[in-house]
Structures are given as structure tokens and as C-alpha cells.
Amino acid sequence: MVEARIDVGDRGGRCYVDTVKNAFAIIPSLLSNGVAVSDLQFTTIVATNGNGTHSREIILITGAGGWLGGVLAQVIRKDPVYTDAHLILADIVEPKPPKGVSEDDYVVIKADLSEKSGVQSLFTTKLGPPSVIYCLHGIMSRGAEDNFDLGMKINIDSTRLVLEAARKYKAPNGQPAKFIFTSSIAVFGGPLPHEVMPETQASPEGSRRGFVDGRVIRVPTIVVRPGLPSPATSAFLSGIIREPLHGVEAICPIGDSFDDPALDELEAWVASPGNVIENFVFASKVDTSNFKKHSRTVNLPGFTVSIKQELEALKDVCGQETLDLVKYKKDPVNARIVGSWPRAFNNEYSLSLGFVLHPGGFRQIVENFKADVAAGRA
């Protein structure tokens, strides 16, 4: 519920309305009864629990033990809307406690989210049921391909359990929980248009029935990811930048040399880690009425880069010696999988909602990562 309060100067009058729109609607009647504009004080009270008192957001992040979930946990309370939010951090391994957050304001849970009891434990903590849910856990691309049963169990069944729990356990504000489900552009396959358009996307069942206020965000390939290489098929897109900047060799599974035409032919849709995290935070704040009818799915902004353009940016920023640390070993399976993904999306819709695309292209990404390495952040 969003309340507005109007205080009427020294007359001591005060009225509450259930929407900001209704607050403006009654102002003319106040003026017609002799109230001066200078006597009016307008206040918006957000996130009330029904009796006019403030209710802190409770944010659940599944997959919080992973890199992306861990960064989100650290960053989200820096957003003005969530500065006092409670955090519930969950994963199959116990997530790290968020730095600089009071122990009273967070819970870390080691839980198997493929089990109903594990999911229920996330909604029955001392903090109460979550009002915002970031569903980040999952088995990525080739990991799910190689173990289909595990992929179905984690990516489908456990997500359904989280949705059912969100339907059962109401947040303190009395509203359906905002449910941010992350997916990847690898969901698109088969014959593809030059640009994937928003109209081709489906509507989340939970949102259509009002069980959750769902938002599905398709994530570009994130480059450059810090840390150790992941088993994802697209991991080399980060590896050919990350490893050389740390002074170690990297394997490029495309082409057999820097001059191989295959490096120009294979393109990927990418965005920087910071850009994606910023859009993650914003995803929970999009006004429901702004989404397209019958769709809550958004392709996050990104841009197209070829493998050759990645390597050229590495050379431009770091020099030939660093580029020489990239070695070439063709992997037809890897090339086929990554090559089947869409390489260009239309950003107009996502940008119109308020999502952002950081400027500077791939060279800026390399420069930023180089600075992070030098500062010991990556």
C-alpha cells in the first residue's frame, strides 16, 4: 500500500488517502474551503503495512553463495530504496555474511532448494517472509545439458517450490512478493531473426494469476567475470581477458590463431558485471503498469561484440605481450553452442522501462577490469 498524507497548516487538519493520485484529487476541495496553498504540506508514505506505519523490505536472494548473488547482496542496500532492508541469503553452500550489515538485519541459510523443507525455511526466518525475491540459483547451460535430471530438479522443480512458498507466505506489507527470476539468452534457439524482439516472450504464470509480482530478466553474457573459471559454455568470453590480465595463459576455443576469420564470425551479446548488477537492483522497482500487456519478461540491455573485437580491445589496453598469453585450441562443441545464441537484441523496450546500458563498449570493460586487477578487486 502507498499512502499520502496532507497536513493543513496550523488548522491541525490531516487526511490520509490510499494513493498519491487520490491525494491530488482532494486538493481542489481543500482550496475551495479557504485553505491556502502555502498551508498545505504533502507527504508520501511508502511501503506501509496497512495501519500507516513503515514496513522495511525483506529481500531474499537464492544462489547468494555464488558470485553474482554475493555481489548483489553487498550492493543492494546501497540503493536509496533499500538502505534499511533485511536480507535473507540462501544457497546449497552457506553464503558469506554481507559486510557492514548488522547481524539483526540478515540471515544466511544453507539449504537444499530442491526440497520443500529447504524452501520453507527461507520464508520462516526471524525476519519474516520476503517482500522481494531474487531467484538466482540454478545449474548453468552446459552443466544442465550434461546432467538433465539435475537441471530439471534445480532449474524447474526448485523454482516452482519457491513460487509456491511465495504464494503461501505473505510479506508483511500485504502485497504479493516482487519475484525477480533470472534467465539467460540461451533460452532462445532455432531459427532466429537478426534482432530478438520483446514480443516473442512469454508471461510468467505466477504473475498472471497474481501469486507473485514477477519480473523475468534475460541476462546477457557477463564479461568480465572475476574469480575462477566457471563450467559455463560462455566462460571463455571472460577467460580470454581475465587470465591474461593476471599474467597467465588462457585458451580460446574459437579459431586457431589471432588472424582466423572464425574470430570475426562468432559474436556474443554481452554486458559488464557492474551494468548487470545495477539492472538487477532496478528490476524490483519497475512499476507493474509499465510492462507490456501479458508479459513481464525483459531482455536486459547489452551490446554485440565479436571474439576478435574482444582480443583487439585486450591488445589496445594491455599490449601485445598480454595478448600473446591467449592460446588457440578449437572446440567445435563450444563454438556450436555459443554460435546458436542470439547475437543482437533490441534495447529500446528495456531502456524505456529505466534499465541502463553503460557507455564505452568493450574497451571500457577491459579498462575497468584492468583497474580492478591492479586494485586487488578481481
Dump pLDDT digits (tens) for 234-272.
999 999 999 999 999 999 999 999 999 999 999 999 999
Mean pLDDT of 224-237: 89
Query: In the prediction, which pLDDT does 38 show?
Result: 55
Judge whether residue 189 has pLDDT over 70.
no
Packing angle, helices 273-283 and 67-75, rounded to 10: 60
CA atoms of 155 and 152, how far apart (whole Å): 5
Q: Contact 142/231 with Cβ under 8 angstroms?
A: yes
Query: In the prediction, which pLDDT does 42 show?
Result: 44
CA atoms of 300 and 167, how far apart (whole Å): 26
93-141 tens-digit pLDDT: 999 999 999 999 999 999 999 999 999 999 999 999 999 999 999 887 7
Judge whether residue 177 has pLDDT over 80.
yes
Query: In the prediction, which pLDDT does 187 show?
Result: 72
278-300 tens-digit pLDDT: 999 999 999 999 998 767 889 99
21 — pLDDT class (breaks 50, 70, 90): very low
* Lowest-pLDDT range of 207-221, 316-330, 344-358, 359-373: 207-221
316 — pLDDT class (breaks 50, 70, 90): very high
- C-alpha cell belonging to residue 125: 526466518
pTM (predicted TM-score): 0.69
Mean pLDDT of 181-204: 70
Judge whether residue 17 has pLDDT over 50.
no
Q: What are the E-state strand segments in the chain?
A: 3-8, 13-17, 40-45, 58-62, 86-91, 106-110, 132-135, 178-184, 213-219, 221-222, 250-252, 267-271, 297-299, 303-306, 326-328
- C-alpha cell belonging to residue 43: 507527504
Judge whether residue 51 has pLDDT over 80.
no
Give the closest residue to 266 by CA, choosing from 340, 360, 190. Answer: 340
